C-alpha cells in the first residue's frame, strides 16, 4: 500500500525561480518511503537561497558554508505526535551548480538530493563507513528504480 504524503512546499528564493514540480517531489519521496509503515506522512520542503541555507548550516551544524540540503527529522520527537517526519531545507542554486559541475542532469541531481534528505529524515546517516555504504546503497537502489543512474558511480569513495 502506498503512503499518503502531505507535502508542504515553501519557496523562499528570488534568485532561482524554477523548481521541480510538486508531482516530481512526491514521486521521489514515495520511492524513498517504500519500506516504511507510516500512513499520512507529512513533510515540509523549503526552497531557499544560499544565504539562508548557510545561516541554518552554521546555526545548527556549526558549519559556516553553503550546502545543498539540510534535514531536520522529527520522526522520534515525543512532542510532535503526528506523522510529521521533518523538514528539508533545499538550496536549488547549489543543486543546479553541482549538476553542471558533475555533468549530470539537473533532474537527476534534484532526485538524488531529495531522496538523500528523506533517508536522513528516516534516520539514515553517513557518519561512518558502514552507515555511509548502507545509505549510498539504498539511495542507488531508489534512484535506479526511478530510471536514474547511480549517483555515486563517478565519485571516488571517501575514507572517513
CA angle 114, 117, 121 (to 5 degrees): 135
Q: What sign has the CA pseudo-torsion 159, 109, 67, 119?
A: negative
- pLDDT tens-digit profile of 9-19? 999 988 877 89
- pLDDT tens-digit profile of 33-86? 987 776 788 999 999 999 999 999 999 999 999 999 999 998 776 666 678 899
Q: Which residues contact 134 (CB under 8 A, 6 or more apart)?
A: 124
Q: What is the pLDDT of residue 141?
A: 96
Q: What is the pLDDT of residue 48?
A: 97
Average pLDDT across the chain, whole number: 89
Amino acid at each position: 500500500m502506498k503512503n499518503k504524503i502531505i507535502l508542504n512546499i515553501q519557496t523562499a528564493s528570488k534568485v532561482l525561480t524554477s523548481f521541480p514540480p510538486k508531482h516530481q517531489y512526491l514521486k521521489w519521496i514515495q520511492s524513498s518511503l517504500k519500506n516504511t509503515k507510516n500512513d499520512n506522512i507529512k513533510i515540509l520542503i523549503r526552497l531557499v537561497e544560499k544565504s539562508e541555507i548557510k545561516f541554518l548550516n552554521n546555526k545548527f551544524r556549526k558549519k559556516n558554508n553553503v550546502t545543498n540540503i539540510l534535514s531536520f527529522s522529527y520522526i522520534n520527537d515525543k512532542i510532535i505526535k503526528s506523522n510529521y517526519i521533518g523538514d528539508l531545507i533545499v538550496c536549488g542554486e547549489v543543486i543546479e551548480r553541482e549538476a553542471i559541475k558533475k555533468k549530470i542532469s539537473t533532474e537527476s541531481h534534484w532526485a538524488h538530493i531529495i531522496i538523500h534528505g528523506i533517508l536522513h529524515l528516516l534516520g539514515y546517516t553517513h557518519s561512518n563507513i558502514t552507515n555511509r555504504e548502507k545509505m549510498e546503497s539504498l539511495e542507488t537502489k531508489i534512484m535506479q528504480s526511478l530510471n536514474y543512474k547511480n549517483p555515486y558511480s563517478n565519485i571516488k569513495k571517501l575514507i572517513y
